[in-house]
Structure formats: C-alpha cells, structure tokens
Amino acid sequence: MSESSEQNQSNESREERRFEPPDDLAADANVTAEAYDRAAGDRLGFWAEQAERLSWGKRWDTVLDWDDAPFAKWFVGGTLNAAYNCLDRHVEEGRGDRVALHWVGEPADDRRTLTYAELTDEVCKAANALTALGVEAGDPVAIYLPMVPEAVISMLACARIGAVHTVVFGGFSADAIVTRVTELDARVVITADGQYRRGDPSGLKPAVDKAMESCPNVRTVLVVKRTGQDVEWDDDRDQWWHDAVDGQSTEHEPQQFDSEHPLYVMYTSGSTGKPKGILHTTGGYLTQVAWTHWAVFDLKPETDVFWCTADIGWVTGHSYIVYGPLANGATQVMYEGTPDTPDKDRWWRIVEEFGVTLFYTAPTAIRACMKWGDSIPQRCDLSSLRILGSVGEPINPEAYIWYREHIGGNKAPIVDTWWQTETGAMMISPLPGVTAGKPGSAMNPLPGISGQVLDDEGKEVPDGSSGLLVLTEPWPAMLRGLWGDEERFRETYWSRFEGKYFAGDGAKKDDDGDWWLLGRVDDVMNVSGHRMSTTEIESALVSNAKVAEAAVVGASDEATGQAIVAFVILREEAGDGGEEIVQELRDHVANQIGKIARPRQIMVVPELPKTRSGKIMRRLLRDVAENREMGDATTLTDSSVMDQIKGGMSDGRSDDD
C-alpha cells in the first residue's frame, strides 16, 4: 500500500470514529435528549423557558416579533439590565464570595482574583465614572484593551448604563480604531498604556494616540495602567483609569433597559473591503449565550472552573468570557498572554493551578500544541478537565483526536461548536451528555435552532452531499442588523435564499444526518480562527504607491487552517520586485490592518487572471498558491496569463511570524 493511501485510510477510520457521551456525564447532564423534542414541538416556548433563567425588570409580552423580517425583536416589551444579570443577582442570591475571575497575567506571578462581590463593586465604580464623563444610555464607547480585568469591567460598566460598547481587538492597528470610532461616533475610548506579550511590555496607547489624530470628536481617553511604560499624554483628553474610577462609589442603581436595547457592536470582516458592524441587543442575546454556555459545557457553577482562551476583542470573548459565563455565575480563568511564554506548557500549568474543568479554544491552538509535542502537556496534571470545546474553524480529525487523547485523557468529550459573530452564540454543537462526538463534525443544530443545507437553487441537498448552510428560523442571539446599513444587511444575509439566513459557509450532512462544516464559500478567509476579507487586504495592498493591482487568496495551511497569499502587480517605477519590496508590502498590510493580516506570502506577478467580465479568478490563484494542477481556465480573457504567472512570479515567502 502506498504511503498516501495508508494515510487516506487512517484519515477515514479516524473520521468514522464515534465517541459516546461518558456515562457519568450523561447521568447528571444539565440537558437531556428531551430538549430537542421540546424545542421542535414549541420553539418559542423553549426559548421563553431559557429566558426565564435571567432576571427581568419587566417580563416580556411577546417572545418573538418577526413581522418586520429580517429585523427580529425578541422578548418584546421585556426590560432587563445585562450587568445586573451578570453580577448583582449572584451577590443578592448569596454567591458574592464565589470567584468570578482568576486572572493570570503573562509575567509569572501576576495574579488577581475577583469574587462576584468584588467584580460588582468594580463595575459599579466604572459605571459611575463613565456617567461622570458624560456617557449616557445609547452612547457608543470604544474599548481597546488587553486581556486584563478592566476589559470585562469596562464592557459591563457600559452595559450597566446602557452605553453601547465596541471592542477593538488589541492586535489591530490605529486605522481599525479610526474606522470604528468614526462610524459609531464614539466620544470616549478606553485603553491601556500597554500589555505583556512574549515576556515584554508592548505599547497599546501609541496606536490610540495615532488614531486620535483622525478622531477629533473623542473627548476622553481613559488609560488603564498595566505596564507602567512611558506614554505620551494629552492633558485635555487623557485620564488615568485609576484617577477616574478608583474614587467612585460602589453604589450604582442599574436601570432596566428594553430587551432590544443595543448591547454592543462588533466589527467583523465581510466579503467586501469594509468591515461590518454587527449589532447585538440585550434580552435575546443574553438568553442564548447563557443557555448555550450552561448546556454545551454542562456547567455546574458551584464546582466548575471554565476557561475560554479567546481574546476579548472577538465575539467568542464577548459571549463566552463576559456575558454567558458571568450570567451563569461561573468561575473562570482569564489569561493575558501567549501560550508559550515563558514556556510551551504555560496553558497546561494554568489548567493545573486552577483545576480548570471546562476548556474552550480554537483548532489552530490545538495544532500548535500538537506540533510542540506530546511531552509538553504530560508535564502537568490535566485530570480536572471534563469537557473540551473547539471554535472558530473546522477542526481536522487529527487535531480532534490529539486534543481528546493528550489534553482530555481520553475521557473528556469534545464539543465542536459552530457559530459566527453574526449568530452571537453557539448554533451547531453536540450536547456533551446527549450527543455522540465524531472527529471533525459539529454534529447537530442545538435545540431551538433550525438549519438546512441547500444547493444553489435553494433545494435541500441529500445527506452525503455538500451545499450551503442556511438558518431557517430566527434565533434569540441573532444580529439585529449592520450598524447604519440596512441594505447591506438584507443583501449579505437574506437575499440569496428568500426568508433564510445565508451564513457564508459550506456544509454537509452525513448519512447519519450529522453536520460537517466545510469552510467559507465567499471571499472571507479564516486564518487561525480569525476572519479576514480578501478584498480588505487587497485594498491595503493597493494603498501602497508601488502596487498597481493585487489579488488575495486563502491557501490551505497546516498550522493556521488558511494562510493569506497575495499576488501583486507592481507599478513600473517600483522595479521588478525583490525581497525588499515584498517585505515592505507585508509590513504595509500589518500597519494598515494589524499583524494578523500580514500575508504569509506575496508573489509579484506580471498579470492577474480575469474573467471576461473583469473578475479576478481567485480559484486559479488558489491552485497556484497551493501548488496544485490548475483548474479550468476557459473563461479567462487570455489564458496565457496563468503561464505568465507561473513563469514570472517571484516568490516572497516568509515564515517569520
């Protein structure tokens, strides 16, 4: 047998493996199989029951108003305060001494523990400080913070006073801050002097300072002191967090807001150049993040320790560090740094130190750990782990099996959770006490969620065939729109198939009816679980004076899932494209968008393949980037272009990040 057919066979047998729920978990699971039937029989009744898990100022009159589709209203007429639900009610019900956050800084002994009572006090102080700064309900506040408790405190302080937060990922550049602050017209920005990254302090405020040159409407920048490094200071605009917050009262009366009051706007990449501001509101969102966190992680708040390794700057951090776990009164770990500082066992030492029981991370991280070797996790006692989660990209069967064996000790089930910034909360995932797990499959839509796999004409494909993933019924945590762009909202998600939400992902149901996610079908790439738009990176490239034209594709990559590969045509005066210019362009993209957008490879080419209507044929470029035989090029205007590309490109490949 050849090596590759052996490989194929072992892949197949891996995919065919099936892990039944462990008996002890099944016997004591928060949710049983009955939930699927209950939700199928009365979807709105099912979600109303989950909403009852929250504390409402006024109960809703109507569960769902879908008359003005695709603009949904959930729990219409109800009022609540998201921060009260995440904090005060736990204290009032006698859980004030429970640890809410075990925070771990990157420097070895940096620890901070906040109980629910302490976190409530901090949030009340911050809410009073924001009010003193003139922030009112409905006002946007931009947050650009590292993984420090103040990130959680800021978000909840906004929620408490009804301000709408927009968190900008700390890895994004000044330009990303400008776009978001300007589009929302935020007047207050919260940041830090810096953060610890791979053992050293690195600056954050400089990016805000640069951004503020283009944001004249911002009146206050609140600065958390994290590293103590020197920072530029504008006396009229900048205030230290400790000066503004520490002296405030811990008393703050939470106001009840309408169930549809905006909670936050999270920007994410779409298939065009401009990031989309995804709007989430309060009642439905909190209902679904809390329920899914409780059900999918089988959370026992008295004994479990939950750790989600996502950054707070992404939706996973919003839903499964801040709102879901805290609404459930969970105890969590929050970690500032990278998994390999000071050593590659850092994560597993943290799991051991706090006895983490529920762990949620991305396949890219699992693949990195796999590469570092089995002996690294073996150094630590990981026996506390009882459920392992995966999110952000398809998990390949090898990574799934490794995760199960080497992190989960072959006993902790894996929950592969499919969802999106737009869906707000998990949508397709096993329930660990009910559903079996198959390596690489997210299994089934959760109770209360309805999906289909369709062909281009909108007909359901038979099991075993791949198609396009749609959601057929509204769900509580669904996006309520794109900030200020009703038309783009309809066009992007609701126009492809009448009345159905088009997710932009390919999917397949297997012969058992279990779901497999097959990656994006649009111009969105998924690099290490981060969403990137090809056109956004193309725009960044052509904004460099040396570039005449650019095309970007996501090429499959063993470590990062997909990697960014760019093809550029240089302007005459830029020369013929040596290593220097390739480096310059890679840095240029990093400066424009952020380091995560730096292309793995830039190829300087004489021409780009285009269809007769002038569209770049990315499919062919992907073939080149992945070193494959080229696909059909018959619709090219000039099919010799591909030969020119293959013959004339200079390959600026770099693995330095």
Summarize as ranges the residues that interact with ligand PRX (CB under 6 A). Answer: 268, 315-316, 391-394, 416-421, 442, 503-505, 517, 519-520, 526, 531
Which CB sits closer to ligand PRX, 77 or 273? 273
Comparison of 227 and 281: residue with beta carbon closer to ligand PRX: 281
Q: Which two tokens stand for residue 318?
A: 């919003």
Please choose, from the candidates 420, 476, 414, the residue with its C-alpha nearest in 3D space to the C-alpha of residue 448: 476
Distance of closest approach, residue 577 Cβ to ligand PRX, in angstroms:
33
Closer residue to ligand PRX, CB minimum distance, 259 or 364 = 364
Least Å from the CB of residue 565 to ligand PRX? 18
Q: Please name the helix (run of DSSP H) or strand (run of DSSP E) that holds residue 130, with its range, or none.
A: helix 116-132
CB of 421 to ligand PRX, least distance (A): 3
Q: Please, what is the minimum distance in Å from the beta carbon of residue 14 to ligand PRX?
A: 17
Which residues are CB-neighbours of 462 under 8 A, at least 6 positions away? none
Of 315 and 590, the one with the shorter C-beta distance to ligand PRX is 315
Per-residue exposure over 449-465, b if at least 16 CB sit within 10 Å of its own CB, e if not? bbbbbbeeeeeebeeee
Task: Closer to ligand PRX by CB, 268 or 492: give it.
Answer: 268
Q: How far is the CB of 492 from ligand PRX (least distance, A)?
A: 12
- Chain centroid to CA 12: 30
Of 345 and 505, the one with the shorter C-beta distance to ligand PRX is 505
Closest CA to 627 of 557, 549, 569: 557
Secondary structure string (H, E, C) spanning 333-384? EEECCCCCCCCCCHHHHHHHHHCCCEEEECHHHHHHHHHHCCHHHHCCCCCC
Kindly state the smallest distance separating residue 319's Cβ from ligand PRX, in Å.
8
Q: Which of residues 173 and 268 has its CB atom nearest to ligand PRX in the complex? A: 268
Nearest to ligand PRX of 188, 478 (CB atom): 478
Quick one: 88 or 311, whose CB is closer to ligand PRX?
A: 311
CB of 548 to ligand PRX, least distance (A): 31
The rounded Cα 121 to chain-centroid distance in angstroms is 28
- Residue 150 or residue 393: which is nearer to ligand PRX going by CB? 393
**Which three-class secondary structure state does DSSP give residue 388?**
strand
Minimal distance, residue 3 CB to ligand PRX, in Å: 28
Q: Structure tokens of 288?
A: 């679904």
Helix or strand (DSSP H, E) at 203: strand 200-203
Nearest distance in Å: CB 426, ligand PRX: 8
User: Terminal CA-to-CA distance of the chain, rounded, Å?
Assistant: 38
Distances (CA, A) of 53 to 49, 85, 148, 274, 327: 7, 10, 28, 38, 9
Residue 80 to residue 60: CA distance in whole angstroms: 10
- Closest distance to ligand PRX from the beta carbon of 205 (Å): 26
CB nearer to ligand PRX: give 517 or 585: 517
The distance of closest approach from Cβ of residue 204 to ligand PRX in the complex, given in angstroms and rounded to an integer, is 22
CA–CA–CA angle 302, 308, 313 (5° rounding): 130
| 44 in Cβ contact with 63 (< 8 Å) | yes
Shortest approach of ligand PRX to residue 402 CB, angstroms?
Answer: 16
Which CB sits closer to ligand PRX, 118 or 416? 416
* Least CB distance to ligand PRX at residue 220 (A): 30
From residue 273, how far is each of 269, 490, 620 by CA, in Å?
Answer: 8, 18, 21
Rounded-to-10 torsion of CA 266, 269, 271, 276:
30
Which one, 140 or 363, has the nearer CB to ligand PRX? 363
- Contact of 426 with 324, CB cutoff 8 Å: no
Instruction: State the nearest-atom distance from the C-beta of 505 to ligand PRX, in Å.
Output: 5
Of 320, 406, 304, nearest to 358 by C-alpha is 304
Residue among 63 and 321 whose Cβ is closer to ligand PRX: 321
DSSP 280-329: EESHHHHHHHHHHHHHHTT--TTT-EEEE-S-TTSHHHIIIIIIHHHHTT
- Contacts with 614 (C-beta within 8 Å, 6 or more apart), sequence order: none
Across 487-590, the runs of DSSP E, i.e. the strands, are 501-509, 515-520, 524-527, 530-533, 547-557, 561-570
Please state whether beta strands 358-361 and 524-527 pair in parallel, antiparallel, or not at all (unpaired): unpaired
Q: Which C-beta is closer to ligand PRX: that of 309 or that of 421?
A: 421
Q: How far is the CB of 543 from ligand PRX (least distance, A)?
A: 24
